[in-house]
Structure 1
Amino acid sequence: MIIWQTLPFNKLSTLQFHELIKLRINIFVVEQTCPYPELDDKDIIDDVYHLVGSQNDEIIACARLLPAGISYENVSLGRVATKETARGNGLGHQLIIEALKQCEQHWPGKTIDIGAQEYLQTFYQNHGFKPISEVYMEDGIPHIDMRLNK
C-alpha cells in the first residue's frame, strides 16, 4: 500500500528530503543522462508542496506542486517521478491522480500547466491535459507544454 503525503519544504524530514532528491536525481540526471541543476531553489518557496508516495518506508514516487507564477502563469506540476523498480503497475497514474487531488485542495478550481516530456503526452492527455505549445527542447529532451483547465 502506498502512503501519500503532501508537505511544504519545512515539514519534510531530512531523510525525506534526501530520498526525494535522490529519486529525482536518479531519474532526471542519471537515468535520462541529462546533467542539469536539479536544485533550482523552487523546492523551498512558500506555498510549494512536495507530494511523496512511500511504500515500506521508502519514497517511490514524487511530484512538486507549485502555485501560479513560479514555473508558469498557472498552478503547475513538476519533477514528477516514479522509482524505476516500482513502474509498470499504474503507479504513475496514481501519482497524477493524487497530485491533481492535492492541487485542487490547495488551489481550488485553478488551471494547471505542465512542461511534459514529449513521449508522455498521451499519458497526460489520459488525465485531461491538452497540448498548448509546439514541441521544444529543454535540457536536450523534447518537451511540450500542456494544460488542464478547471
Structure 2
Amino acid sequence: MNFRTIILALTVIAIALLAALNWTALTTPSQVELGLSTVQAPLGLIMLALTVLLGIFFIAYVLALQGSVLLETRRHSKEMHAQRELADKAEASRFTELRAVLEAQHQQGQNALMTRIDALEAHWQARALEMENSTAAYLAQLEQQLRVSRPEV
C-alpha cells in the first residue's frame, strides 16, 4: 500500500474509534449557536456528521478527478494511436516511393546496359563484316597473284 493510503486509513480508524469510545459525549445535547439563532442539539454529532460529509465530498472529488484523468488518458491514447498510424502510413509511402525510385534507376541502368550491348554487338558485327571483306580481298589478291605467277595450263 501507498504511504498516503496508510496514513488516511489510520486517520479514519482513529476518528471512528474516538467516536465509538466517546459516543455518550457526542450525543449529549448542548446549546449550538447558528449565527441568527440558538438550537439545542448534540454538537459532537453535528461535527461528526460534517466530518463524514466532508469525507464523502472528498471521495466524490477524487473519483471525479480520477475519471477525468482516465478519460483524458483514453483520448490521448487514441490520438497517439492515430499519430502512430499516420507515421506508419508515411513510412510505408516512403518505402513505396523508394522502391519506385530504385526500380526506375534499375530500369535506367538496364536500358543503358542494353543500349551499350546493342552498340557493342553492332560494332562487333561491323568489325566482323570488315574482317570478312578484308579476308576476302586478301584471298582474291592471293588468287590473282597465283594466277599471274602461274600461267594457266
TM-score by length of 2: 0.17
Larger helix proportion of the pair: 2
Structure (1 or 2) with the larger CA radius of gyration: 2
Larger strand proportion of the pair: 1
Greater relative contact order structure (CA < 8 Å, 6+ sep): 1
